[in-house]
Amino acid sequence: MQKMKNDFTVEINAVIEQIFSEKCKILKQELISEIHKSLNSSCDKLSEIRAEKKQINAKSSYAEMAKRNANKIVIKPINNKNTKETKKALKKVIEPTEGLITTVTNINKGAIIVECKNSEAVEEVQKKVNKEIGQEYATEKLRETKKRRALKIVGLSTKLNDERIIECVKKQNDIEDNKELKIIKVYEDRNKREESYNIIIETDCETYEHLIEKKRIKVEWDSCRVFEHINVPRCFKCLGFQHKASDCTFKQACSKCGEQHDVKECNSNIIRCVNCFDLVRRKVIDVEVDHYAYSTKCPAYIRYLQSKKAKK
Ligand SMILES: [Zn+2]
Ligand SMILES: [Zn+2]
Ligand SMILES: [Zn+2]
């Protein structure tokens, strides 16, 4: 009887122990997942804040740059002259008391930077200088911002020519006429069921920010979405990113199977992205590799795109 009781106690203890430890395990797991959840949300929040901060910094520096170069002209002598002579020549053309010019700064080789009161003054000064002393001096407007950025405009329903696109983008989206917009390319979006075109356009940072903020812009009667466009140069031979085929020192790669042949000659059943396969092999990232190298969802491509974005 005593033995039976002992055995029973042992058994119950074991069961209790088991139940208790099971419960502990669950509690432990719950605790761990709670910790993970809050850790993840903290991380998300942190990267959000970082991105926001970056955007604010970028914006203010573009605005500053634009301001710095606004309404300025460079006047440079065609033949050897010093800055004193250049200023003297300018004085003959523009009377300082007229107030068209606010400051004059010397730069090298006899050239000067002339800051004008406003954009009309810029036009007037440039016109006068060209007319009166254009034989001896060349003038050049300082670009508002040197850095230019590209946008992708998506979902145009009819194909328009470059001039018409620029006209519509400017007139219908509150962009001043003197802003420079350059069409990089217009192409048909074959992923859409109906006829649809995308436009890659390049412009100064200020106009870029203005358009990006709108999220949608008007082009004729279309309301088109706008995105940042990052040009990713690609090698047609090895399908790698940072170089052209003419500079390529790597092996040729098939965009379908990743083997060493042209995709036109491919008769493999395997779909394997050469870039992702390489990253996985080198243990850089752990991703699926069964997609075409030109897929826009390719992790290697996305990774490269993000690294380019981060450098902006
Ligand atoms: Zn290459
Ligand atoms: Zn192949
Ligand atoms: Zn890939």
More confident residue, 146 or 179: 179
Ligand 2 centroid, distance to 266 Cα (angstroms): 4
Range of weakest confidence among 61-75, 141-155, 243-257: 61-75
The residues facing 154 across adjacent strands are: 198, 225
* 261 in Cβ contact with 254 (< 8 Å): yes
Closest CA to 152 of 305, 311, 310: 305
Which ligand is closest to the CA of 258, given by its number? 2
Count of residues in the chain:
312
Question: Per CATH, the architecture of 148-228 is what?
Answer: 2-Layer Sandwich (3.30)
Mean pLDDT of 246-256: 93
> How far away, in angstroms, is 249 Cα from ligand 1 center?
6
Q: Any idea which ligand is nearest the CA of 270?
A: 2
Q: Which two tokens stand for residue 122?
A: 């810029």
pLDDT at 237: 94
In CATH terms, 72-141 corresponds, of 3.30.70.330, 3.10.105.10, 3.30.70.100, 3.20.20.140, to 3.30.70.330
In the predicted model, is pLDDT for residue 51 greater than 70?
no
Query: E-strand spans in 54-106?
Result: 72-77, 101-106
Q: What is the pLDDT of residue 106?
A: 87
Confidence at 196, pLDDT banded by 50, 70, 90: very high
Using one digit for the tens of pLDDT, what is the confidence trace for 169-183?
A: 999 999 998 899 999
Which has more pLDDT, 194 or 54? 194
The answer to whether 72-141 and 148-228 have equal CATH topology is yes
Looking at all shown ligands, the one closest to residue 257's CA atom is: 2
Answer whether 266's CB lies under 8 Å from 256's CB: yes
Contact predicate 186/198, CB 8 Å: yes
Tell me, in angstroms, the distance from the centre of ligand 3 to residue 308's CA.
Answer: 17
57 compared with 120, residue with greater pLDDT: 120
Extents of the domains making up the chain: 72-141, 148-228, 245-310
pTM, rounded to two decimals? 0.44
Distance (angstroms) between ligand 1 centre and the Cα of 11 equals 70
Higher pLDDT, 75 or 32: 75
Angstrom distance (rounded) from CA 261 to CA 251 = 9
Q: Report the C-alpha gap between 128 and 93 in whole angstroms.
A: 7
Relative to beta strand 101-106, strand 112-116 is antiparallel
User: Tokens at residue 83, please?
Assistant: 């800055």
Lowest mean pLDDT among 2-16, 102-116, 185-199, 265-279: 2-16
Ligand nearest to the CA of 241: 1
Ligand closest to 274 (CA) is 3
Helix (H, G, I), strand (E, B) or coil at 36: helix
Ligand nearest to the CA of 291: 3
Question: For 254-300, how does the pLDDT look when each residue is reduced to its tens digit (9 = 90+)?
Answer: 999 999 999 999 999 999 999 999 999 999 989 999 999 988 889 99
